[in-house]
Amino acid sequence: MVKKAKTQKNQNDQKNQVDQQQTIEKIIPKDKLDSLIKGIYKDFKMIVPKKAENEVEFGYLDLDNEEYQFPEYQNLRISPKKFLFPQNEVLYSFEKEDNKIKIKEKEEIIDDQVIFGIRSCDARSYKILDTFFSSGKYSDPYYFNKRNKTLLIGLACNEPMSTCFCTSVGGDPFSSEGLDAILFDLGDKYIFKITSEKGSIFNKYVKEYPDVEQADLKRKEEWASSSRDKIQFNINLDNIEKDLDGLFESDIWSVVSRKCLSCGACSYICPTCHCFDVQDKYDKNEGTRVRIWDNCQTSIFTLEASGHNPRNSGRERTRQRIYHKFNYYLKNYKILGCVGCGRCIKVCPTNRDIRETLKTVVETAEKA
């Protein structure tokens, strides 16, 4: 860990403040999108949605070895979190020599990279990770080495999934929060809008294209409104922190956790979950220190060496998950720790639904 650079947070804030007068909004015909991607690829490493066997996944673009066509997709099953916070990450290596341990720092060269086609909820999830990894006196160099080299080009969400609830947690399917540029799909063409100071670097790839016209902006608003209408779940979470303050010992936690298998899938798939463990992998005289994603929904997460486990049952672990995202995050950072992507709902083998839990919390607090 290194001392947090004073300017880092300011830089991140400034990145999202674009002078409205300089806002660039261009029209990209649908059949020109792939050439736009290829243009950006000449200067940046690119992470793009790619057709895999049965689904679309984010992956590195490699135009030397593959043909690429931008696919159709709803929000992807797996978020792009791993590109900045990998599931396994070597922190440094070490070796034993003459009974002394020598540490070899990791030399990581990160190219400037672009995540292209990220949805608004996932862009907001990076803002949450930014806050966590820069909280307190230190900032996490492993995360920020990558984060500070990464630009985000979003794709607004025309077809939210049945599990999406971003509008209940301060998001919007057409939000550009946390993005450097965003594409709005108007059906037959895209609007490409630069949304941060850093994002103005993309001007050179789009400047030849025509400017948006009033009619295009009107159509964009129609798409945005139709997208919001498709979000099936809406709940007012304005008082969620206070609601939870009074429910720590409530019986609801036994009820809402009843079906939970403690498999941890909801937490692994979550774009905002960031707990990690640090382990050494070694063989004879050398090894590496690695951090790996950890998971608060498994019983071993809080198991102490004495055998005592402060979160011994699904009741405590489910409660922890909800408190962490909807109470402790607000207390510590003044933001919610959930972006409403709905992935945890889709992946749960017993159909547990975080929206139902939130509804139970709000209704129970109202009755109390």
Q: Footprint of ligand SF4 on this chain (CB under 6 A)?
A: 260-266, 269-272, 297, 325, 338-344, 347-350, 352, 354
User: Closest separation between CB of residue 36 and ligand SF4, Å?
Assistant: 29
User: Closest separation between CB of residue 221 and ligand SF4, Å?
Assistant: 26
- Residues ≥6 apart with Cβ < 8 Å to 184: 156, 174, 190, 191, 193, 220, 223, 224
DSSP label at 211?
Answer: B
User: Closest separation between CB of residue 217 and ligand SF4, Å?
Assistant: 30
Q: Within 13 Å, how many C-alpha atoms sit on residue 366's CB side?
A: 9
Quick one: 50 or 355, whose CB is closer to ligand SF4? 355
- Residues ≥6 apart with Cβ < 8 Å to 218: none
Please say whether the beta carbons of 45 and 79 come within 8 A: no
Quick one: 8 or 298, whose CB is closer to ligand SF4? 298
User: Closest separation between CB of residue 337 and ligand SF4, Å?
Assistant: 8
The DSSP bridge partners found for residue 107 are none
Quick one: 56 or 338, whose CB is closer to ligand SF4? 338
Q: What CA–CA distances, in Å, run from 52 to 33, 207, 344?
A: 20, 32, 21
Quick one: 132 or 190, whose CB is closer to ligand SF4? 132
Q: What one-letter code names the amino acid at 21?
A: Q
Quick one: 114 or 269, whose CB is closer to ligand SF4? 269
Quick one: 344 or 361, whose CB is closer to ligand SF4? 344
| Angle CA 261–266–272, to nearest 5 | 150
Strands 150-155 and 56-60: unpaired
User: Closest separation between CB of residue 83 and ligand SF4, Å?
Assistant: 17
Quick one: 186 or 252, whose CB is closer to ligand SF4? 252
User: Closest separation between CB of residue 155 and ligand SF4, Å?
Assistant: 18
Residue 309: other Cβ atoms inside 10 A: 14
Q: How far apart are CA 42 and CA 146, in angstroms?
A: 19
Contacts 24+ apart (CB under 8 A), 278-281: 278/91
- Residues ≥6 apart with Cβ < 8 Å to 329: 128, 335, 336, 337
Quick one: 25 or 243, whose CB is closer to ligand SF4? 243
User: Closest separation between CB of residue 344 and ligand SF4, Å?
Assistant: 3
The rounded Cα 104 to chain-centroid distance in angstroms is: 31
User: Closest separation between CB of residue 260 and ligand SF4, Å?
Assistant: 3
Residue 136: other Cβ atoms inside 10 A: 9
Strands 150-155 and 113-118: parallel
